[in-house]
Chains A and B, each alone.
Chain A
Amino acid sequence: MAKSKEELFRELSESVVEMEEERTVKVAEEVVRQGEDAYEAIEKGLSHGMERAGQLFEEEEYFIPELLMCSDAMYAGLDVLKPHLKRTGEKKGRVVIGVIEGDTHDIGKNMVRIMLETGGFEVTDLGRDVPPRRFVDTAKEIDADIIALSTLMTTTMDGMGKVVKILEEEQIRAGFKVMVGGGPISPGFAKRIGADGYAVNAAEAVKVAKRLLEGVGGVQVVA
């Protein structure tokens, strides 16, 4: 007997949280076979699972290795479902994301990217070790709404301020929201360099991004 779509979505979510890539693929295939809506399956299954994983991460139940495996499971499911997406989901906004020059850690940034993507954002990922200038150039090129900067190293925090400075020098600061995050970054630092938003982790980054697009001003501290 075919499972109800609610059951399937629950199982998708579950298999993502449990880091079970193969099971996620199987359930996603089942969703397609039964002709359920792919967008709904992503939202209520995969994204939901990833959100729960993010929650467990916040609660320090899960750490980076677990989160990475959840995201692998999610991506594997996404690969199955994507071709069946109807063009209904309206885009929330465009984001340029990357790790500041001098830092080759990109785990946190990858998580933020995944969360933003599943949250409906169109994300251009510049990777790691990115010079400040490239963030600005790319943001102009793709007409981004948000520039998201990440670093894990105190030694590279300067670069974040530089991005804001370049935007100011070119008098295009108002055209973009800048959000920052990463291990050594504090809300105070975000404020000092003139960023619009700060997020303490990947799940919060999505909330901050959404609020930034809604036009709520000032440094938004989401602890």
Chain B
Amino acid sequence: MSSTSPRERLVRVLQKKSIDRPPVICTGGMMNAAIVDVMETTGHTLPAGHGDAGLMAEIATDVHRATGFENIGIPFCMTVEAEVLGSEINFGSLECEPKIEREPFPSVRQVEFRDISGMLKSGRIGTVVEAANNLSRRHPDQPVIGSLTGPISTAAAIVDPVTFLKELRKDPEGAHRVLSYVSDLLVAFAQELVDNGATLIAIGDPTATGEILGPRIFGDFAVPYLNRVIDAVHGMGAPVIVHICGKLQAVKGSIPLIRGDAISTDALVNLKLLKEEFPQLVTMGNVSTFLLEMGEADKVARQTGQLVRDGVDIIAPACGLSTSSRLENIQAMTGVVKS
């Protein structure tokens, strides 16, 4: 029997210490593994679990047990922050993840800046924090990952996204103010999560990609606020995983500037080459989510095995999982890493 607990293994890899094998995880949040296959057998279901701490903890536990992922990941959506900041949320269904129904602010100049500590008591922040508390006590050997929606994505979920993207150029000062405000909320949310037993924080920021923003705006607007959140979480004594969506080509220069403890990437990125280019990076990824949904288990196993052989530090899905991903495929993925 291995003496290393999953929690220890993940923390060690994030500290660049030696480990017996890579951990295989799924962070929650953007990478939510609460698939229909799992929920249908347990009866603990979404969308109810998005707003109920007890149910959220049950689902997170079910997912961990059924899939073999070596962590607990919450929440199961990317709308917690935006909701607290005033967005209207559609909670979706068993199959469909929650989404922003309407952004409350037409432009960055119209954003209403509210008191952060007051907001921590509103919406579902308390729900996620309570679930983290419950889960960290229930699963002391598992890393509990609190997932945050990154600053750019959160800002583009409270301000009309098309306008927001234009304002990154047209009104940089206004955009900075909103990003700063959003980052303050993220830091405060992270603090609550860490105080309540979250082992680490994962940040997914799907609007902050090279393809969407380009290198200059990514460098000027995405990196500084990601780093602000990362530095603050480091100050709490917890590590941070950052997921960057899309191709990295356009923003490659910025990657080593992101101060997270691991970089997770999309399926399009060759992590072996990325590691060669930036040997200091702890890499995470990137099993095709397309394969997990549509592919065969043996193909998933082969791809996963290749990632392990390529020296990818943490094995994980490449992007948000489809809720109709096949449990058998996910088990093939986690099984290969553990064998």
A interface residues, Cβ below 8 angstroms from B: 19, 60, 62-66, 68-69, 72, 101-102, 104-107, 110, 129, 153-155, 157-158, 183-184, 189
The answer to whether A64 and B289 have CB atoms under 8 Å apart is no
* Total count of chain B residues near the partner, CB < 8 A: 29
14 A-B contact pairs sorted by A residue (CB < 8 Å): A60-B214, A63-B212, A63-B217, A64-B211, A65-B168, A65-B169, A69-B170, A72-B166, A101-B96, A107-B162, A153-B320, A154-B293, A155-B322, A183-B211
Given contacts A69-B169, A154-B319, contact A184 B217 (CB under 8 A): no
B250 interface contact, C-beta 8 A: yes
CB of B144 to closest CB in A, whole Å:
24
User: What 0/1 pattern do residues 245 to 285 of B give for CB contact below 8 A with A?
Assistant: 01001100000000000000000000000000000000000
B212 / chain A contacts, CB cutoff of 8 Å: 63-64, 107
B199-234: which residues lie under 8 A (CB-CB) from chain A?
Answer: 210-214, 217
Asked whether A65 and B213 contact (CB < 8 A) given A153-B320, A154-B319, A158-B322, the answer is yes
Task: Given the known inter-chain contacts A107-B212, A154-B290, A183-B211, please indicate yes or no for A68 contacting B321, CB distance below 8 A.
Answer: no
B162 touches A68 (CB 8 A): yes
- B324 x A60 contact (CB < 8 A): no
Pick the residue among B166, B319, B324 that contacts A158 (CB under 8 A).
B324
> Closest CB of chain B to A120's CB: distance in Å?
24
A183 proximity list for chain B (CB < 8 A): 211, 246
Task: Report yes or no: A184 in contact with B214, Cβ–Cβ below 8 A.
Answer: no
By DSSP majority rule, is chain B's interface helix, strand, loop, or mixed? helix
Asked whether, in the complex, the Cβ of A110 is within 8 Å of the Cβ of B97, the reply is: no
Taking the closest CB of chain A, its distance from the CB of B30, in whole angstroms, is 10
Please tell me if B303 contacts chain A, counting CB pairs below 8 Å. no
**What's the Cα separation between A19 and B99 when bound, in Å?**
31
New A-B contacts (19) at CB < 8 Å, excluding given A72-B166, A106-B162: A60-B250, A62-B214, A63-B213, A63-B214, A63-B217, A64-B165, A64-B214, A65-B166, A65-B169, A65-B213, A101-B96, A107-B161, A107-B165, A110-B162, A154-B289, A154-B293, A157-B322, A158-B322, A189-B290
Is B61 at the interface (CB under 8 A from chain A)?
A: no
